[in-house]
Structure 1
Amino acid sequence: MEQSNTISLPVTVEKDIKDSFSVNLLNNQTLDSPISIRLKYNRIFLIKDGSGILYIDGAAYPVSGSEIFLLAKEQIFSFSKHSTLSGYELCFGDCFWEKTPASVNNCKAVLFNNTADNQHIPVPFSGYQNMDMLFNTLFLEHESEDYINKTDAMAAYLKVIMIKTANLNASLTKAYDNFEKQIYRQFLGLVQKQFHTTHDVSDFASQLNISTRKLSGICKRNSNKGPKDIISLQVITEAKRALQFSTKPVKEIAFELNFNSPEQFSHFFKKYTNFSPHLYRLDFVKIGM
Structure 2
Amino acid sequence: MKLAYKNSKTSGECRMIVEELEFDRQFYGKDRKDKLLTIAWNKGGTQQVTIDGVEYEFPHNTILCLMVNQTFHFADASGIVAWQFNRAFYCIIDHDKEVSCVGFLFYGSQQLMFTTLNKTNSHKIDLLLQVFIEEFETVDNIQEDMLRMLLKRLIIIVTRLAKQQFLPLQDLPEQKLDIIRQFNLLVENHYKKEHSVKFYANQVNRSPKTLSNLFALYNEKSPLTVIQERIVLEAKRLLLFTDKSAKEIAFELGFEDAAYFSNFFKKNTETSPSDFRTKGLYS
Whether the TM-score (by the shorter chain) exceeds 0.5 is: yes
Q: CA deviation at 1:116?
A: 4.9
- Contact 1:244/1:284, CA 8 A, preserved across alignment: yes
Asked if 1:85 is matched to 2:105, the reply is no
Between 1 and 2, higher relative CO (CA 8 Å, sep ≥ 6) is seen in: 1
Q: Distance in 2 between matches of 1:192 and 1:71?
A: 14
- Contact 1:47/1:85, CA 8 A, preserved across alignment: no
- Contact 2:61/2:116, CA 8 A, preserved across alignment: yes
Higher share in helix = 1
Q: 1:37 aligns with which of 22, 26, 29?
A: 26
Asked if 1:153 is matched to 2:146, the reply is yes
Q: 1:74 aligns with which of 61, 69, 72?
A: 69
Query: TM-score normalized by structure 1?
Result: 0.82
Partner of 1:96: 89
Asked if 1:219 is matched to 2:215, the reply is yes
Q: 1:208 aligns with which of 192, 204, 213?
A: 204
Q: Deviations over 1:39-89 (max 9, x none)?
A: 621101122214642111233233453221210111111123xx2423521
Query: TM-score normalized by structure 2?
Result: 0.84
Q: 2:237 aligns with which of 233, 238, 241?
A: 241
The number of equivalent residue pairs is: 265
Letter in 2 for 1:79: F
State, as a whole percentage, how many aligned pairs show the same letter: 26
1:3-42 correspondence runs (5 A): 19-26=12-19, 29-31=20-22, 37-38=26-27, 40-42=35-37
- Contact 1:110/1:172, CA 8 A, preserved across alignment: no
Q: Deviations over 1:174-216 (max 9, x none)?
A: 4996211100000000101111111111111111111111112
Partner of 1:58: 53
Q: Distance in 2 between matches of 1:166 and 1:202?
A: 29
Partner of 1:5: none
- Contact 2:195/2:228, CA 8 A, preserved across alignment: yes
Q: 1:57 to 1:200 in 2, by over 3 A?
A: same
Letter in 1 for 2:195: H
Partner of 2:104: 110
Q: 1:229 aligns with which of 199, 218, 225?
A: 225
Which stretch of the first structure deviates more once superposed, 92-101 or 251-260? 92-101
Which stretch of the first structure deviates more once superposed, 95-104 or 228-237? 95-104
Q: Distance in 2 between matches of 1:35 and 1:90?
A: 12
Q: Distance in 1 between matches of 2:46 and 2:206?
A: 47
Partner of 2:128: 134
- Contact 1:66/1:125, CA 8 A, preserved across alignment: no
Q: 2:260 aligns with which of 264, 278, 285?
A: 264
Unpaired stretches in structure 1, ≥5 consecutive residues: 1-15
